[in-house]
Amino acid sequence: MSSENIAFSELNLSQPVLNAISKIGYETPSPIQARAIPALLDGKDIVGLAQTGTGKTAAFALPLLSSIDTKSANTQVLVLAPTRELAIQVAEAFQSYASELNNFHVLPIYGGQDMRGQLRQLKRGAQVVVGTPGRVMDHLRRGSLDLSNLKAMVLDEADEMLRMGFIDDVTWIMEHTPENRQTALFSATMPKEIRRVANTYLRSPEEIKVARESTTGSNIEQAYWMVSGTNKLDALTRILEVEPFDGIIMFVRTKTATVELAEKLEARGYSAAAINGDMNQALRERTIERLKNKSLDILIATDVAARGIDVERVSHVINYDIPYDSEAYVHRIGRTGRAGRSGKAILFVAPREKRLLYSIEKATGQRIEAMKLPSGDTVSAARIDQFLQQITDVVNGEENLSFFDELLAKYSREHDLEPEAIATALAYLLQKNRPLQVKFAEIKPERERSRDRGERGERPRRNNNRGPEEGMKRYRIEVGRNHGARPGDIVGAIANEAGLKGRSIGQIKLFDSFATLDLPEDLAPAQTKKIASLHVRGQQLSLSEDRGPMRKGGDKGKAKPRKRKPAHG
């Protein structure tokens, strides 16, 4: 079965799951989804050869969620993942695919997390538990995790679990689950130990491997940028400033993202439009026509919408989101380098998608060169060139400038100023909104930042008088040292129950009767409400905005936030 001609609606997923997918904006199933979903809905065991970025999480989460019984709080699905990051990510994916299901609970459990919180939540019940093998074993031994009603089990990134030495734990856990459970094993590679697990513990599994297409034209220059330190949108606009382009097709994963990115680029002065499967054929054709006749320079598309687009002036394809597989990659970049022209393909790769990059290189037999983001100096040079070119164009152009001639001649006489001095002042005025001398703040790559925070995601101790980091806001919670609270308890409770990533929880400072903590400034009201209602060490957090030096005697509170330096020189 090919993913090209199947829709999510044809896959027998439950209605709430379909509604959630359409809310998220997925257009069509990815190749692995098109094959894994029907098999899992059929009750079959599967072995999926797939890596991060292929859509493998949804490939198992969507069908398993479709058969969850939310009337019961029993654990019905167990996912084992090698790392806490992956466990959290998978739990978050389940949460979003279950957004239209009532009474659904998913619980990530991993080492290093407060045990008491976990025990309490397990007692409350979660239909889906996503855990690292060690911690899942702990709970099974303690009897705090009951798998007697388990319907399905997923081994995610099985080869990673093997590499990290968890494979015996994994098989131990499997032996402690009902024999009639359904099992899905996902692995990027198939070492023989994993093959053995599949042969021993799975019932005639269907093997799902997605075919790869492997031809790219040699007239297309390919580069990738490893996402780090700068967000993708800023990186993109930096690239657009220095890349000489004519027409561009950018690829994202979802329909929603096409619209969002088009709006953001338009706000930044580019002529951009979205094209996606929600648009009818006529509208799509009209948009492509606009790209052809230059009333539009940038098209932001999903794979489906861009299939077969043939516009000669497309000088660049930018893969803003990495495609699922090399086949999609080849289709995408084939939108440039048309009619014998040369083209350039740029690919954004998040660190966790590295493997997908390697597999694209392998399948196409071509190396994709790493690129650096243009520096401030490069962007400045490009802006200066454009600026000078504009002057040349006006001087050589046909525009009648006599009004300005007279105006400035008069001004020069009256103020006794040389024409150069006036020109300098005008140039300064002109570039105020778009400086010619650009400096970018040096941001440490996320990898280094998390290394600084240590293994368990704690932030380093900092000068107490420092304000929250950029993008964060300081809050106060009503649990402190006297209640026996530790930063780990607070991070654990918030990460688990308010659906925040551990690493988005900033500095925590414990005082005797309360604590301050930094959280992202764009928290949703529902999240702050949820956090306010949580309990740590028996104390309700009652989250409130930190109002600075203690209201009543005792510890000192917040320091003045630092003033943000503008990014431009």
**77-80: strand order across its sheet:** 106-109, 128-131, 77-80, 152-155, 182-187, 46-49, 206-209
Query: For ligand AMP, which is the closer residue by CB, 26 or 166?
Result: 26
Stretch binding ligand AMP (CB under 6 A), from 27-35, 114-122, 283-291, 413-421: 27-35
Query: Of 22-30, 306-314, 380-388, 481-489, which part binds ligand AMP (CB under 6 A)?
Result: 22-30
- Tell me the three-class secondary structure of 30-80, residue by residue: CHHHHHHHHHHHCCCCEEEECCCCCCHHHHHHHHHHHCCCCCCCCCCEEEE
Rounded to 5 degrees, φ, ψ at 388 are -65, -35
State which amino acid sits at residue 112.
Answer: G
Name which position in 20, 26, 147, 315 contacts ligand AMP (CB under 6 A): 26
CB of 16 to ligand AMP, least distance (A): 17
Q: Is 56 in the site for ligand AMP (CB under 6 A)?
A: yes
Does residue 97 touch ligand AMP according to CB under 6 A? Answer: no
Considering only 16, 53, 133, 374, the residue that binds ligand AMP (CB under 6 A) is 53
Q: Which is nearer to ligand AMP, 65 or 543 (CB)?
A: 65
Among 16, 35, 52, 145, which residue interacts with ligand AMP (rule: CB under 6 A)? 52
Residue 33 binds to ligand AMP (criterion: CB under 6 A): yes
Q: By C-beta, is 7 or 384 nearer to ligand AMP?
A: 7
**Shortest Å, Cβ 368 to ligand AMP:** 19
Give the Cα separation of 559 and 462 in Å (integer): 13
Q: Which of 55, 277, 337, 492 forms a contact with ligand AMP (CB under 6 A)?
A: 55
Q: Tally Cβ neighbours within 10 Å of residue 393.
A: 10
- Is residue 467 a contact partner of residue 516, using CB atoms and an 8 Å limit? no
The contact mask relative to ligand AMP for 248-267 (x = CB under 6 A, - = no) is: -----xx-------------
Scanning the structure block, which residue is given the tokens 């994994």? 170
| Residue whose CB is less far from ligand AMP, 56 or 105 | 56
CB of 50 to ligand AMP, least distance (A): 7
For residue 470, the minimal CB distance to ligand AMP (Å) is 25
The letter for the amino acid at 121 is: Q
Near ligand AMP by CB under 6 A: residue from 35, 37, 54, 288: 54
Count of residues engaged in binding ligand AMP, rule: CB under 6 A: 14
Instruction: Quickly count: other Cβ atoms within 10 Å of residue 32's Cβ.
Output: 26
- Buried/exposed code over 276-303 (b: 16+ C-beta within 10 A; e: otherwise): bbbbeeeebeebbebbbeeebbbbbbbb
Please name the residue that has the structure tokens 């060169």.
369
* Rounded Cα gap, residues 533 and 344, in angstroms: 52
Binding site for ligand AMP (CB under 6 A): 26-27, 29-30, 33, 52-58, 253-254
